[in-house]
Amino acid sequence: MTASGLPMTVSAQGLPARVRIHEVGARDGLQNEKTVVPTEVKAEFVHRLAAAGLPVVEATSFVHPRWVPQLADAEELFGRLGDLDAAMLPVLVPNDRGLDRALALGARSVAVFASATESFAQANLNRTVDEALAMFAPVVARSKEAGVRVRGYLSMCFGDPWEGPVPLPQVVRVCRALLDMGCDELSLGDTIGVATPGHVRALLTALNGADVPTDRIGVHFHDTYGQALANTLAALEHGVTTVDASAGGLGGCPYAKSATGNLATEDLVWMLHGLGIDTGVDLTALTATSVWMAEALGRPSPSRTVRALSHKE
């Protein structure tokens, strides 16, 4: 660490000048925490993340509260974010009812969540992969009619806890289907964190071969095996410029039974700024936000960068 608490900057060849960080801490993070955070704390969290310069702050999920009790306050939370631009606050919608709820509140950006594997589609959605896609098709079509941006999440793009390694053509097929139904952007999820950089390159190359352009692809890595930043760098070298991360590393991985899940936004920002890649994020403000949220959750942040920057002698 330099005296300023910021990384030294040494640029490298062949990397994008700017990366758009898609912050998922308030949704993917808190949804996977045991503690249910009060709505006013969530609202302050989203406001602080936006104030720290994150361009996209995924806010919540309009799934049925029975499935995700941590996010049962989606309506009330979204109502407290009216001072922010709704276009920077994507929300998850599983079906037509969820979309109705989101549109009624003025959502301008939504996400559906598909699976690359049958096992996870059954576990998470109680449907086959194709039944889930059929459920999302009208959601995506109606969103596009309403002028709302749609992101298509795809879980288990690399490995699946029940099926093992996931064949590339299987992932490519579902990605293609999501784009064909109108999704603006994909987010390739390494839900159990088993990917390694060669696998990332192979999947991105296979997607390009199926006419999926790199500028429609975001990556969503988990740090379960310590590979998230290496995988991110491989994706950046391929030309990817949208990277998902969770402030403070919020959200364990419920399927890997591990404390470490989402890539921490601070760890990502440290690497990107060290490479001279612009993110618009104020790392000091972001770290202070994650320290504050860790106190609200009653446990330290798993982010190495948060720990390093907040360590007091």
- Binders in 40-99 for Mg ion, by CB under 5 A: none
Pick 136 or 221: Cβ nearer Mg ion: 221
Query: Residue 262, interface with Mg ion (CB under 5 A)?
Result: yes
Per rule CB under 5 A, count of chain residues that contact Mg ion: 2
For the chain, how many residues are written?
313
Using a 10 angstrom Cβ sphere, with 0-12 exposed, 13-18 middle and 19 or more buried, the burial of residue 232 is buried
Query: Which CA distances in Å does 252 have to 31, 37, 50, 89, 260?
Result: 9, 15, 23, 22, 5
Residue 253 annotated to the active site = yes
Stretch that binds Mg ion, among 25-33, 46-54, 154-162, 196-204 (CB under 5 A): 25-33
The kind and range of the H/E element at 245 are strand 242-245
Please, what is the minimum distance in Å from the beta carbon of residue 220 to Mg ion?
A: 6
Stretch that binds Mg ion, among 41-49, 118-126, 205-213, 257-265 (CB under 5 A): 257-265
Pick 20 or 80: Cβ nearer Mg ion: 20
Stretch that binds Mg ion, among 1-9, 20-28, 113-121, 158-166 (CB under 5 A): 20-28
Query: Residue 124, interface with Mg ion (CB under 5 A)?
Result: no
Pick 224 or 262: Cβ nearer Mg ion: 262
The Cβ of residue 210 has, within 10 Å, a number of other Cβ atoms equal to 14
- What DSSP designation does 133 have? H
Please, what is the minimum distance in Å from the beta carbon of residue 17 to Mg ion?
A: 26
The Cβ of residue 241 has, within 10 Å, a number of other Cβ atoms equal to 18
Query: Residue 266, interface with Mg ion (CB under 5 A)?
Result: no
Please, what is the minimum distance in Å from the beta carbon of residue 103 to Mg ion?
A: 25
Q: Which of 157, 175, 183, 253 is catalytic?
A: 253
Stretch that binds Mg ion, among 53-61, 82-90, 93-101, 259-267 (CB under 5 A): 259-267
Please, what is the minimum distance in Å from the beta carbon of residue 287 to Mg ion?
A: 20
Pick 28 or 58: Cβ nearer Mg ion: 28
The one among 28, 58, 73, 160 contacting Mg ion by CB under 5 A: 28
The whole-angstrom distance between residue 138's C-alpha and the CA centroid of its chain comes to: 23
Pick 105 or 156: Cβ nearer Mg ion: 156
**One-letter identity of residue 111:** A
Stretch that binds Mg ion, among 45-53, 91-99, 112-120, 254-262 (CB under 5 A): 254-262
- Name residues whose C-beta falls within 8 Å of residue 145's C-beta, 6 or more positions apart in sequence: none
d(CA 125, CA 120): 8
Using a 10 angstrom Cβ sphere, with 0-12 exposed, 13-18 middle and 19 or more buried, the burial of residue 295 is exposed
Please, what is the minimum distance in Å from the beta carbon of residue 222 to Mg ion?
A: 6
Please, what is the minimum distance in Å from the beta carbon of residue 253 to Mg ion?
A: 7
Using a 10 angstrom Cβ sphere, with 0-12 exposed, 13-18 middle and 19 or more buried, the burial of residue 288 is middle
Q: What are phi and psi of 29, to 5 degrees?
A: -70, -60
Three-class secondary structure of residue 249 per DSSP: helix
**What amino acid positions are annotated as catalytic residues?**
253
Chain residues in the site for Mg ion (CB under 5 A): 28, 262
